[in-house]
Chain A
Amino acid sequence: MSEETHDWGKHKKTYLMVGIALFFFTGVTIALALVPWLDVGPPGPTPGDYVLGLAVATTKAGLVAVIFMHLNHERGLIYKTLVFTVLFFISLMALTLFAEFDPIREQYDTFETTNGKLTEQE
Chain B
Amino acid sequence: MSAVTAEKNEETHEDHHDHYEPFWKKYIFSTDHKTIGIQYGFTALVFLAFGFFLMMVMRWSIAYPDRAVPLLADWPWFQAWLDDGGKVTGDLYNMFGAMHGTIMVFLGVVPLAFGAFGNYVTPLQIGAPDMAFPRLNMASYWLYLIGGVLMFVSFFLPSGAAKAGWTNYSPLATTTDLHYGDLFWTGQTQWLMGMVFLISSSLLGAVNFICTIINLRCRGMTWMRMPFFVWAMLVTGFLLLLAFPPLEVAAIMQLMDRLAGTSFFVPTGLNVSGMAFDAAGGGSPLLYQHLFWFLAHPEVYVLILPALAIVSEVIPCNTRKPLWGYKTMVYAVMVLGFLAFIVWAHHMYITGMGPAVSTFFQTTTVLISIPSVILITSLLISMWGGSIRFTVPMLFATAFIPMFGIGGLTGLPLAFSLTDLHLHDTYYVIGHFHYVVAPGTIFGLFAGIYHWYPKMTGRMMSTRLGHLHFWPSLIFMNGIFAPMFFQGMAGFHRRAFDGGKAYEQISSQIFSEPNTFVSNICEMMNVIEPDAPLRMIDLNIITSGSAWLLAVFQVPFIINLFISAFKGKKVESDNPWDATTLEWATPTPPPHGNFASEPVAYRGPYEYSVPGAATDFSPQFESDPASLVDEKEKEESSAT
Contacts and interface: CB of A to CB of B under 8 A. Distances in A.
A/B: CB atoms within 8 Å of each other: yes
Given A84-B338, A99-B287, A99-B290, A92 B355 contact: no
A103 B358 CA distance: 11
A105 interface: yes
B67 to A, nearest CB: 45
Given A88-B341, A99-B287, A102-B356, 11 more contacts: A84-B242, A88-B243, A91-B342, A95-B294, A98-B345, A98-B357, A99-B290, A99-B353, A102-B355, A104-B355, A106-B354
Interface in B312-366: 338, 341-342, 345, 353-357, 359
A95 B356 contact: no
Chain B interface main SS type: helix
B354 A104 contact: yes
Contacts of A104: 354-356, 359
B356 A103 contact: yes
A77 interface: yes
B214 interface: yes
Instruction: Enumerate the 3 nearest inter-chain pairs by beta-carbon distance, A residue then B residue, closest first.
Output: A102-B354, A105-B354, A104-B356
Interface of A: 77, 84-85, 87-88, 91-92, 95, 98-99, 101-106
Interface of B: 214, 238, 242-243, 246, 284, 286-287, 290-291, 294, 338, 341-342, 345, 353-357, 359
B357 A102 contact: yes
A77 B214 contact: yes
A58 B195 CA distance: 32
Given A84-B238, A85-B242, A92 B356 contact: no
Contacts of B284: 99
A98 B342 contact: no
6 contacts: A84-B338, A85-B242, A87-B341, A88-B242, A95-B287, A99-B284
A93 to B, nearest CB: 11
Contacts of A92: 246, 294
Contacts of A85: 242
A99 to B, nearest CB: 5
B242 A102 contact: no
Contacts, number: 42
Nearest to A95: B290
B216 to A, nearest CB: 14
Contacts of A105: 354-356
A102 B291 CA distance: 19
Nearest to B243: A88
Nearest to A106: B354
A99 B359 CA distance: 13
A91 B284 CA distance: 19
Nearest to A107: B356
A45 B304 CA distance: 47
A79 to B, nearest CB: 14
Nearest to B214: A77
B353 A102 contact: yes
| Most chain A CB neighbours (cut-off 10 Å) among B238, B246, B357, B359 | B357
Contacts of B290: 95, 98-99
Contacts of A84: 238, 242, 338
A87 B337 CA distance: 13
Nearest to B361: A98
A92 B214 CA distance: 26
A80 to B, nearest CB: 10
Nearest to B351: A99
Given A84-B242, A92-B246, A105-B354, A99 B338 contact: no
Contacts of A99: 284, 286-287, 290, 353
Contacts of B359: 104
A88, A105, A106: residue with the most chain B Cβ atoms closer than 10 Å: A88
A95 B242 CA distance: 15
Contacts of B355: 102, 104-105
Residue of A77, A91, A95, A99 with highest tally of chain B CB at under 10 A:
A99
Contacts of A98: 290, 345, 353, 357
A91 B287 contact: no
A96 to B, nearest CB: 9
Contacts of B353: 98-99, 102
Contacts of A101: 354
A87 B246 CA distance: 14
Contacts of A106: 354
A88 B291 CA distance: 13
A95 B214 CA distance: 32
Contacts of B238: 84
